[in-house]
Structure 1
Amino acid sequence: MSENLEPAAVSVELLSVLAELVSTATDDELTGSELLAAAGTPFVVLGVGSLAQLRLLDAVEERFGVFLDLDGPAEFLNSLDGLAEHLVTEHGVTP
């Protein structure tokens, strides 16, 4: 039986930091503002490719001192919102 959990309290500041990391990972093909406006949109729809996602993983791990395990389900890497919520709920990250 699954519990009904409230959505994680993700701050605008965390989303902004992540948006800049994604922007850098895509070689600035997407701006932080564009990413924030499309925070729930899947990265693949935004044109964020697999290489950029690997760069993003490295940047997030370095910035927040966490390990993002890709051996299991990696839905957290689908969107900016998903990544932020994962960092808050699974790793206790705050900006």
Structure 2
Amino acid sequence: MTRDDPRHDVAAVVAALVAEASDGQITAAGALAEPDSLALLGLTSLGQVRLIQAVERRFGIAVEPDDDLVALDTVESLARYLRERGVA
């Protein structure tokens, strides 16, 4: 994967993980476009758990329960959370 590859962008990867975690109920494009909350698109609590697990596997980090989990509300906030933890 090169830097020119859109999959390199953390937000794009996170959006794809949202689509997987929601079993396709939410598209990656829809997840990227939602400015307020993935829950508004229908991401359930089970979907959030799946998303956390997928993020942890994909990026090799642990999402700590003590962290501000508001970061899970949108793709951009989750991408920012990951960048703050050194994911490029």
| TM norm structure 2 | 0.84
Say whether the 8 Å CA contact 2:37–2:74 is kept in structure 1: yes
Higher alpha-carbon deviation: 66-75 or 79-88: 66-75
Q: Distance in 2 between matches of 1:72 and 1:33?
A: 27
Change beyond 3 A, Cα 1:16–1:54? same
Q: Shift of residue 73 of structure 1?
A: 2.8
**Secondary structure, counterpart of 1:93 in structure 2:** coil
The match for 1:36 among 25, 28, 32 is 32
Superposed CA deviations along residues 33-69 of structure 1, whole A, max 9, x for unmatched, are 111222x221111110100000000000000000001
Match of 2:20 in 1: 24
Change beyond 3 A, Cα 1:72–1:24? same
The match for 1:66 among 47, 61, 66 is 61
| TM norm structure 1 | 0.78
What is the identity, as a one-letter code, of the residue corresponding to 2:68? P
- Write 1 or 2 for the structure with the bigger share of helix: 2
Segments of 5+ residues of structure 1 without an aligned counterpart are 1-11
What is the aligned-residue identity percentage? 36
Aligned length: 81
**Secondary structure, counterpart of 1:81 in structure 2:** helix
Q: Which runs of 4+ in 1 moved over 2 A?
A: none
Q: Shift of residue 72 of structure 1?
A: 4.1
What is the identity, as a one-letter code, of the residue corresponding to 1:13? D
Q: Distance in 1 between matches of 2:59 and 2:77?
A: 16
**C-alpha RMSD of matched pairs (Å):** 1.4
